[in-house]
Chain A
Amino acid sequence: MFDDVVITGIGLVTPLGYDPAVIVHQIEQGKVIAEEPAFDTSNFDCPYYARVADFDSEKYFPENKTLRLMNRDSQMAVVAAHLALKDASITVGQTYQPQQIALYGATGVAGLALEEVTRLIKYSTGEDGALDLERFGDVTLKRVRPVLSFKLLANMPICFVSIFENIQGENAVYTPWEGHGVQAIVAGIRAIRRGRTPCALVGGCDVKTHMFSFINMQQLGLFDSWRRHGQGSVPAEGAGFLILEGEREAVNRGAKIYARFCDYKIESLNKQANIYDIYSSIYSSLEKKDVDFVTAASDGEAEIVEAENKLFTQYGMESATFQHPKRYLGNLYAAAAVVQVGLTAESMHRHNYQLGLTNCFGAGCEQGSFVLEKV
């Protein structure tokens, strides 16, 4: 009971690469990966996205049959989970039995690519221009592949991880924003602390680089900052997974330990609430504030930048070293929390920081922060 929880593996698929050390180095070098989308963005307020340009699905999934079932977010999730297990030197079935590994993940909105959506209506439009359900039933349903439904279910990326890696432990899938990635991490921490499992694979994935996602985000107002201030979040794609273990188990098996979770806080943002007040409430309840390293949440969203900077000043964190991953690799939404925490852990491991704060503030209601300490 109440075992300390440590990070022993990091697996990332991001626009800045796959290797956490390389990603951190590129962020330190100020490498920005945003590019103009391949599609016409003239009606979108956001003019950029951040892709994982070299992600070759056929390399990772040579069996075409399997690949047909998987959206890009599922593919990235499976690769990131595999990298995390490898990084932690965990062989499922040897290091831990499949039932001993919990799996908590977060997935994003809209896994379908636009081409798949438009295929659905291609043969289903009546003479009046409206959706013709007669044609949809008679023609379209005979032409679309049965696997379509699996691409619509938001739990699928995490299920694919369980299947590819033979993970069979306790589980849940949360959706659709960064805060739900925080929930996935917290669920893993709790499972270990309460002694229900010695190891948890926690992560998230999201693909915001196809036009369907751009439509969604434009409609949801997530590009408003671009319209108002000429800057904002750059939608990205990727996935991240962390291996969490009880510290005793990790030490006993001689695992590489990146950092230990020493505190976290998650709060919900009400419609009428002031962002700064919520962030302040989160900070005030954290016990350890003398951090020497901070992974900030802010990318380009003006409100978040302002509120977060105010907090750093208020809590005397100006002397800490800061990194702003989202400014360089874009916003990974449902995957952002895990990637942020992973990059904090990598930076602490690499530079010997003692206490690292990770902010996971962004779209959606849930906002959270984690504090990691050097082991």
Chain B
Amino acid sequence: MMRVVITGLGIVSPIGNDCESFWSQVTAGKSGIGLISLFDASHFPVKIGGEVKGFSLEKVKQYYPAAHHVRDRKVFLGLAAAWEAIQDAGLATSELQNAVLEVGVGLEEFCLGDLTPYADTLGHPQAAVMSVATDHSNLLQTPLDSTARVLGDHYGFSGGRYVNCSACAAGAQVIGEAWRLLQEGETAIVLAGAADSMLNPLGLGGFSILRVLSDENDQPQRACRPFDATRKGTVLGEGAAFLVMETLERARARGAHIYAEILGYGSSLDAYRVSDPDPNGEGAIRSMALALRSAGLQAGDIDCVNAHGTGTPKNDEVETRAIKEVLGQRAYEIPIHAVKSMTGHMIAASGSVEAAAAVLTLSTGIIPPTINLENPNDQCDLDYVSEGARGFNGNTVLSNSFGFGGQNASLIFGRYDS
């Protein structure tokens, strides 16, 4: 089996539109949550979100002319993060011709506004939407393979372009699946990551009526409080992250900077309900246990957990219980932190952004804090790094991503020592 390393990172997030600014903000405990400005959410029950700020779609279109027709914001977030990761890895376009691409995506965005001119004929919807169908320049719905298609046309990626839509687990699954392909010698280089934005009327509206979002609109930066006793729900965010993953052999041969090594991956299904996590956390337990097993590690070998930590009452309690079940006494001895407290829940992108954070924890020796955790409680009683960023000299980070529908994924990253 091949060893697999990370040689490039690209991040676009509510707290920074590149890797460096993301890391400086996340380790400083800055919240990226605020009132939504991308559209008028003033009459929505939830008016807050983690928006990517100061992001230029036009700049991305300059890099990727094939994206000029795309309307879906998450595609651009993904393209920007991919561009940074490839630049960071020092790869030439030609090196990606036969590489594999793994892209995680979330909800299909479709433009409700395109249908409203026909709303007065809703009694006859067939007639109402006909004109839309003939407009090829403004797609009513952007297919979820759009990011992969643009990246493929630009760089090649003839080794395969996987488009993973496993909801909140997608961003971690693409990295795990890429690790397997590399480990098993199917390819030598993979660009893996995810992009998502649900900060549109349908995404925000749909999730707000599900009652999984915090509606503390008057204190946006405190609204996402993973593991806090007073937590009221998560906050939607948007973002993207891509990782260049290579076999150690290839990375060494080309003298690449190596951030960290990926050691293990596990995935599982709750098979419980589409709307709720299994209260016993059995799916989460299995995904972490499988990641440990695939890495050949024991519970005592894990030095830090980058938690899924959404801030919903159910998730944080179940995840804490699952971590204790898998890691035993070790769960009480190591730091556990939640990036979502600052970025919000970037849905499909979360797993990739948090994986990038795990990689940076190992390479910089800093653990980002869990902000807004002021009221500990009996159900969430581990060390969540609530006092601020902390130095880290451990060797491994476990990163969890648990998705709507019951899909779970866990990744283990290791410090790379040349």
Contact = CB atoms under 8 A, between A and B. Distances in A.
Interface in B109-138: 110, 112-113, 115-117, 119-120, 122, 125-136
Interface string A183-219: 1000100100010000000000000000110111011
A90 interface: no
Contacts of A194: 180, 184
Given A69-B274, A159-B269, A211-B129, A109 B143 contact: yes
Interface stretch (A127-135, A233-241, A244-252, A316-324): A127-135
B163 interface: yes
A257 interface: no
Contact of A176 (B106, B107, B122, B143): B143
Interface in A116-153: 117-118, 120-122, 124-126, 129-131, 133-138, 140-141, 144, 146, 148-150, 152-153
A156 to B, nearest CB: 6
A226 to B, nearest CB: 13
A103 B269 contact: yes
Interface in B280-295: 282-283, 286, 290
A163 interface: yes
A183 B116 contact: no
Contacts of B134: 43, 218
A117 B157 CA distance: 35
A133 B43 contact: yes
Nearest to B146: A176
A292 interface: no
A216 B267 contact: no
A275 interface: no
A99 B202 contact: no
B365 interface: no
A170 interface: yes
Nearest to B286: A99
A129 B117 contact: yes
Nearest to A115: B125
Given A137-B43, A174-B162, A218 B116 contact: no
Residue among A114, A135, A365 with max Cβ neighbours from chain B (10 Å): A365
A130 B161 contact: no
Contacts of A187: 177
B317 interface: no
A215 B133 CA distance: 5
B45 interface: yes
B206 A125 contact: no
Interface in A345-371: 364-366
A153 B116 contact: no
Interface string B27-44: 000000000000111111
A98 B271 contact: yes
Given A153-B107, A159-B269, A171-B267, A136 B145 contact: no
Interface in A262-307: 266-268, 270-272
B201 A136 contact: yes
A110 B108 contact: yes
Contact of B127 (A40, A110, A130, A220): A40
A194 B274 CA distance: 30
Interface extent on A, as a size class? 35 or more
Given A152-B108, A171-B269, A183-B162, A176 B145 contact: yes
B116 A131 contact: yes
Nearest to A218: B133
A154 interface: yes
B165 A174 contact: yes
B376 interface: no
Interface string B253-276: 000000000000011111111110
A166 interface: yes
A107 B165 contact: yes
Contacts of B392: none
A160 interface: yes
B173 interface: yes
Contacts of A149: 206-207, 209-210
Contact of A109 (B41, B42, B141, B164): B141
A171 to B, nearest CB: 5
Nearest to B183: A194
Given A99-B268, A162-B406, A173 B165 contact: yes
Contact of B108 (A109, A133, A272): A109
Contacts of A44: 133
A195 B279 CA distance: 30
A121 B115 contact: yes
Contacts of B44: 133, 136-137, 141
A242 B202 CA distance: 35
B407 A168 contact: no
Contacts of B128: 118
Contact of A171 (B131, B136, B268): B268
Interface of B: 39-45, 66, 105-108, 110, 112-113, 115-117, 119-120, 122, 125-136, 139-141, 143-145, 148-149, 152-153, 156-167, 170, 173, 177, 180, 184, 201-202, 205-211, 266-275, 282-283, 286, 290, 403-407
16 contacts: A40-B127, A44-B133, A118-B122, A121-B122, A124-B112, A146-B210, A149-B207, A149-B209, A152-B202, A153-B165, A153-B167, A153-B404, A155-B403, A168-B282, A219-B136, A268-B161
Q: Which 4 A-B pairs have the closest CB atoms?
A: A137-B43, A159-B405, A149-B206, A125-B119
Given A125-B120, A129-B117, A365-B145, 17 more contacts: A40-B127, A44-B133, A133-B44, A137-B41, A144-B206, A146-B210, A149-B209, A153-B404, A162-B271, A166-B271, A168-B282, A174-B164, A216-B140, A268-B152, A268-B158, A365-B148, A365-B149
